[in-house]
Structures are given as C-alpha cells and as structure tokens.
Amino acid sequence: MSERVRLIRKDLSVGMTVPWNIYDLEGRKLLGKGQELRSEKMLDELCQYILFHDLPDVQHAVYKDGHGKLNAFEKTSDNIARIERIFDELKGQSDCTDKINSLAKDILSLCEREPDAVLAVIHIEHEYPYVLFHPLQCAYLAVLIARRAGFTDDECSCLAAASVLSNVGMRDTQDRLIGQKEALNLEQTNVIRQHPETTVEMLRAIGYKNENVLTIILEHHERCDGSGYPHALKRDDICRGALVLAIADRYGSIISCRNYRRPLSINEGLQHFFLDKGEHYEVQFSLLLIKELTVYPPGSFVKLTNGEIALVVSRGKMSPMEPLLKSLVGKNGEVYANPLVRDLSMHNFEIKSICGYHSEKLLNFSKIWGYI
Ligand SMILES: [Fe+2]
C-alpha cells in the first residue's frame, strides 16, 4: 500500500508553505516540501490534478521547545478545567476565542513533548466526566496522528480546537444520554445528526472566525463512502482534519466505558480500523493510528510470562514488541510498593497478553511516569 495520502483543495491555501512533497496520480512530483503556494493561480493549476502528499518519517518525542518535562497527568487535569470553563462561556454566549486558541496551543505542545504519557492518559481509566474527557482524548489522539501525517503546527492547532469544540452543539442531549439505557428517540437522533451544523452556528454566534476549525467541525461525522452526516460527503470532499478527527473520535469512544455498552479492548479498537479498509475512515490515517499506538500502547496493562502484571509506560525504542514497563503486581498477587522497571530488551521474559487490571488503591500515575 502506498504511503501517500489524498489531498484536496480544502487542505491547501494561498501563502501556505507545504510541509510535504505533492504528487499527481502518476507519481510525478508537482511541488516540493518547503515551497510556498504563492497565488490563487498557482493553487488553481495544482488542483487540476488529483493530488497526493507523502508521509514524513516522524520519530517519537520531538522536543521542540526544550523546556524539559511537562507532567501530562497534571496538565490533563488543568485542561479538563479549561474545557469546562470554555463550555460554560459558550453556553453563556461569551467570546472565548482566546481561551480556545491558548488551550489548542498547549495541547499541541504537550503532545510534542510527552507523547507516551499523553497516550497513557488516553487509555488509562480516570474519574473525569465523559463529556469533558472525550473532547480532550480526541484532541490528544488527533494531534498525535496529525503529527505523523505531516500536518503543520497551525493545522494541528486547528485540529485540537475542533476536537475540543466538535460536540458543543449537542451538550445538553449528551448530558441527558449519560443516564439513558433505552435507544435514542427521534428528537435525540435529530439533535445528534444536526450537531455539526448546530456547533458551527453556536461558534459563529459568539464571533468565532477560524474557518479551518469550523470546516473540520462541520465534516467530522462525514464518512469516506458517503454514509456520514450532515451532507453525506464522500472521501474526496472531506478535509484532512475532519478525516483524522473522525478516527480519533471513534477510537476514543469505543475504548471508553459507556452506560449502554462495555468498552472494547485496545486490540478490538484497532481491529475496528483494520477491518474498515477505507470504507468509513481514510486508510492511511487509520494506519497512522495503528502505527502511533503500536501493539502495546502506553497506559495498557499486560500480563508477563513471569506472572507479573505490568503497566506500559513508553513504546519500545528499538522494537514495538519491547515497550518499557513497570510491574505493579507479582506472580502471587502481591502488589509492589514501588513499581519495578521492566525493560523487555534486557529481561528473559515476555508479554503474554494485554489484560484488564483494577487496583484497590488509586495508582499514582505522576509517580509511575517519573514526574514526581
Ligand atoms: Fe460529533
């Protein structure tokens, strides 16, 4: 399968310095990485072709600003409080554009500096309400996929903002659905199907003007085969940001515990995208999700062949099959007072399987990840 992603006019703009090489259907290079799209005419000429861009080789943990570690668990708690304030201000119809921009920038910075801990936050059980945590979970995952796809910083910030805001137009319905066990009624179904448009209207009403963010929100439930809503767009009419958010949104939702169904395991979640084969979700972005998470993403619990239960702390530097672990429970069920570091590249035991684990005592993730 080609390591190239389809590119449409909505993904390009005049003045943009393109972060990848752009090719036509025959593989001819039309524009090189780092070149500027100088004029509308240049953009028109380029868009006469069916366009693709290549994928950059992204390594883990790109420390851009070099200010040392950020505690991803503390920052997440802070981000949840910021999301709650933004939602309240939107409800009160206050212009909170600056707060949205600042949160998006901080999400991007955290994902760049602490990608392993951010992945752990996405997967570890927590106490935050779903309506606040899910937007942040989507933003983290969408940015991690987007970095691998070569999105620019500005595109990543737009994606983070869109992820946080995408469902605000159906917040009241979401709150009511939390306690509901029966199927959705007609009115609820309509609210859900209209929420991309309702959200965009709500944001325009407070003076929010970032068209790139609004387009991602409007298209985040469109699907490649045209089965999505609100406009049943097909793959080549959906912007890249919305394609990435659709994957982050779906993955976050299926691994989360909801009152009407059990969460799927990480493997089942990834299999969902593997089996989709581009029907609903863009294949290359689905593959980037699988690549980013690896077989044992940080935050997953695993059973070892020596009988211990361990927590995956970071992805393997040499091999995805050899992540860095911290063992929490011994083979006889004894809980270790201090988790033991297990580097599989240096031990003669292996991971047997991913497993569930419920601790009687609240685990101190900041300590396990070495922040304190
Ligand atoms: Fe949504």
- How far is Cα 321 from Cα 300, in angstroms, rounded to an integer? 13
Distance 30 CA to ligand 1 centre (A): 35
pLDDT greater at residue 1 or residue 38: 38
- How far is Cα 204 from Cα 71, in angstroms, rounded to an integer? 34
Distance 259 CA to ligand 1 centre (A): 18
Does 194 share its domain with 88? yes
Q: What is the pLDDT of residue 58?
A: 59
- Say if 288 falls within a structural domain: yes
Distance 166 CA to ligand 1 centre (A): 5
Distance 90 CA to ligand 1 centre (A): 17
Residue 117: partners with Cβ closer than 8 Å, 6 or more residues away? 72, 73, 298, 369
326 bridge partner residues: 311, 341
CATH of the domain at 215: 1.10.3210.10
* β-bridge pairing 301-304 and 309-314: antiparallel
C-alpha torsion sign, points 102, 103, 104, 106: positive
Summarised one tens digit per residue, pLDDT across range 81-124 is 999 999 999 999 999 999 999 999 999 999 999 999 999 999 98
- How far is Cα 321 from Cα 318, in angstroms, rounded to an integer? 9
- Say if 59 falls within a structural domain: no
Distance 250 CA to ligand 1 centre (A): 10
Q: Which of 257, 352, 238, 341 shows the shortest CA–CA distance to 295?
A: 352
| Mean local confidence (pLDDT), 114-140 | 92
Q: How many CB atoms lie within 10 A of CB 199?
A: 23
- Say if 239 falls within a structural domain: yes
Does 252 share its domain with 225? yes
Distance 137 CA to ligand 1 centre (A): 13
Q: Which of 134, 146, 137 shows the shortest CA–CA distance to 119?
A: 137
Q: What does the block give as tokens for 209?
A: 């003007």
Q: How far is CA 159 from the centre of its chain?
A: 9
Distance 347 CA to ligand 1 centre (A): 44
- Cis check for the bond before 135: say yes or no (omega within 30 of 0): no
At 68, is the pLDDT very low, low, confident or very high (cuts 50, 70, 90)?
Answer: low
Most confident of 229-233, 264-268, 271-275: 229-233
pLDDT greater at residue 269 or residue 1: 269
Residue 57: partners with Cβ closer than 8 Å, 6 or more residues away? none
Q: What is the pLDDT of residue 358?
A: 75
Q: What is the domain range of residue 279? A: 72-293
Does 222 share its domain with 356? no
31 bridge partner residues: 22
Distance 141 CA to ligand 1 centre (A): 15
The pTM score is 0.89
Proportion of the chain above pLDDT 90, given as a percent: 59
Q: Are 311 and 358 in contact (CB under 8 A)?
A: no
Distance 219 CA to ligand 1 centre (A): 9
- Say if 98 falls within a structural domain: yes
Does 289 share its domain with 305? no
Angle between helix 283-293 and helix 240-255 axes, rounded to 10 deg: 50
Does 109 share its domain with 220? yes
CATH of the domain at 29: 3.90.105
Does 45 share its domain with 171? no
N residues, the chain: 372
Q: What is the pLDDT of residue 363?
A: 84
Summarised one tens digit per residue, pLDDT across range 175-221 is 777 777 778 888 888 999 999 999 999 999 999 999 999 999 999 99
- Say if 287 falls within a structural domain: yes
Distance 218 CA to ligand 1 centre (A): 9
- Say if 49 falls within a structural domain: yes
At 127, is the pLDDT very low, low, confident or very high (cuts 50, 70, 90)?
Answer: confident
pLDDT at 319 over 50: yes
Q: What is the pLDDT of residue 260?
A: 57
Distance 192 CA to ligand 1 centre (A): 8
Does 37 share its domain with 102? no
Distance 163 CA to ligand 1 centre (A): 9
- How far is Cα 134 from Cα 122, in angstroms, rounded to an integer? 9
Q: What does the block give as tokens for 31?
A: 């524009």
Does 246 share its domain with 310? no
Q: Which of 120, 115, 110, 118 shows the shortest CA–CA distance to 67?
A: 110
Does 107 share its domain with 174? yes
CA distance to 84, 128, 134, 184, 220, per residue, from 193 (Å): 23, 26, 18, 12, 11
Summarised one tens digit per residue, pLDDT across range 146-156 is 999 989 899 99
Does 212 share its domain with 327? no
Q: What is the pLDDT of residue 297?
A: 92
Residue 323: partners with Cβ closer than 8 Å, 6 or more residues away? 294, 296, 298, 312, 313, 314, 315, 316, 344
Q: How many separate domains does the chain show?
A: 3
Residue 121: partners with Cβ closer than 8 Å, 6 or more residues away? 72, 73, 76, 137, 140, 299
Does 76 share its domain with 210? yes
Q: What is the pLDDT of residue 60?
A: 45
Q: How many CB atoms lie within 10 A of CB 318?
A: 8
Q: Which of 280, 285, 251, 283 shows the shortest CA–CA distance to 268?
A: 251
At 259, is the pLDDT very low, low, confident or very high (cuts 50, 70, 90)?
Answer: low
| Mean local confidence (pLDDT), 14-18 | 89
- How far is Cα 276 from Cα 271, in angstroms, rounded to an integer? 8
Distance 130 CA to ligand 1 centre (A): 13
Q: Are 198 and 170 in contact (CB under 8 A)?
A: yes
Does 228 share its domain with 120? yes
Proportion of the chain above pLDDT 70, given as a percent: 94
pLDDT at 63 over 50: no
pLDDT at 7 over 70: yes
Distance 245 CA to ligand 1 centre (A): 9
Distance 5 CA to ligand 1 centre (A): 24
At 273, is the pLDDT very low, low, confident or very high (cuts 50, 70, 90)?
Answer: confident
Q: What is the pLDDT of residue 61?
A: 43
Distance 196 CA to ligand 1 centre (A): 6
- Say if 169 falls within a structural domain: yes
Domain boundary among 271, 293, 315: 293
Helices (H), 277-319: 283-293
- Say if 60 falls within a structural domain: no
